[in-house]
Chain A
């Protein structure tokens, strides 16, 4: 199993540009989520999904959209990038939607918005 994969690994955007961060998992996990990691602020939840066709907002959802059309994929879309979205983004998945289930993280995408 490849586990949780994320692409791209690095990305530089200009303010106002849009892009999609890709996330895929091959473990048949129901729960998937996106976090952003900023210095001194730990991991903050952006959006999550408890199964295909179901998504919900986390702590910091503004400026981001998600969809879950399949169990395997959970892309994160930035509609109009802003410098405040410069961060490292992690996708995670787990067997079910319980917060007590082990989360498996991808390797991250480092995004810079100029």
Chain B
């Protein structure tokens, strides 16, 4: 089945610096790659997604890039702020059903003031 690997598991940056989280996937037919943010004590929330027909998508300080040849996609957060501290999950569709999302193991981001 689909396998989604996410790195790093923890990331600590200084406020104002950039943060990058990377994910790799195994199914070359995957066509949708969302990123979810989970704040402490809450459920995950979609922050950005990208489809396979584009290589990059931006939304203010957040961007996602996709490299279909290498089968990896990345989340980029610029000018990090303390409120960006959270756990971030990448995901990709499961190969055996279009109904399922397979999530990465998560990255805990800490932005130091």
Q: Does B103 contact A (CB under 8 A)?
A: yes
Question: Which A residues lie within 8 Å of B104 (CB)?
Answer: 42
Number of cross-chain contacts by CB at 8 Å: 62
Q: Are B94 and A108 in contact (CB under 8 A)?
A: no
Q: Are A90 and B43 in contact (CB under 8 A)?
A: yes
Q: Are B89 and A98 in contact (CB under 8 A)?
A: no
- Count chain B residues whose beta carbon lies closer than 8 angstroms to a beta carbon of A: 27
Which of B6, B9, B98, B101 has the largest count of A CB atoms less than 10 A from its CB? Answer: B101
Interface residues of B in 79-113 (CB under 8 A from A): 89, 93-94, 97-106
Q: Does A84 contact B (CB under 8 A)?
A: no
Cβ proximity bits A38-61 to B, threshold 8 Å, 1 near / 0 not: 001111110010100000101100
Given contacts A41-B105, A42-B104, A99-B94, contact A50 B99 (CB under 8 A): yes
- With CB as the reference atom, state the residue of chain A lying closest to B99: A97
- With CB as the reference atom, state the residue of chain B lying closest to A110: B41
Q: Does A112 contact B (CB under 8 A)?
A: no
Additional A-B contact list (6), CB under 8 Å, known A31-B99, A43-B44, A43-B103: A40-B106, A43-B89, A44-B103, A56-B97, A59-B102, A100-B93
What are 23 A-B pairs with beta-carbon distances under 8 A? A35-B103, A40-B105, A40-B106, A41-B105, A42-B89, A42-B105, A45-B100, A58-B100, A59-B102, A90-B43, A98-B99, A99-B32, A99-B99, A99-B100, A100-B32, A100-B51, A100-B93, A102-B34, A103-B101, A105-B44, A105-B45, A107-B42, A107-B43
Interface residues of chain A, those whose CB is within 8 Å of chain B, are 4, 31, 35, 40-45, 48, 50, 56, 58-59, 90, 92, 97-100, 102-103, 105-108
